[in-house]
Amino acid sequence: MSVELKKFRQLMKNSYTGTVDGELQQLSIDEVNSYVSNAVGNRKLSNSEVETAIQVAMQNVAAGADPADELKTVQDVQDAQ
């Protein structure tokens, strides 16, 4: 078990008192949203061709393509820049 998972489970033991009926998921979403809203720096890729290649690769992986092949395709787009 990862250290992060152990810390998360300990946090949940210490602070979560609801039932697992969506409240735990909402707690996680709230935590991520808090982190993202306080993040600093550019969170958007400046190269639209690479961004498009990543989006296509993610769709292909979700449809069953080999992640390594898709990653190579994205890397090829980046290298061509």
| pLDDT one-digit tens code per residue, 24-76 | 777 787 888 788 777 777 767 788 999 999 999 999 999 999 999 999 999 99
Instruction: From 25, 17, 1, 44, select the one nearest 54 (Cα to Cα).
Output: 44
Q: Return the pLDDT at 26.
A: 77
Position 75 scores a pLDDT of 95
Confidence check: pLDDT of 77 > 80: yes
Q: What does the pLDDT read at residue 14?
A: 56
pLDDT value at position 15? 57
Sign of the torsion angle spanned by Cα atoms 31, 34, 36, 41: negative
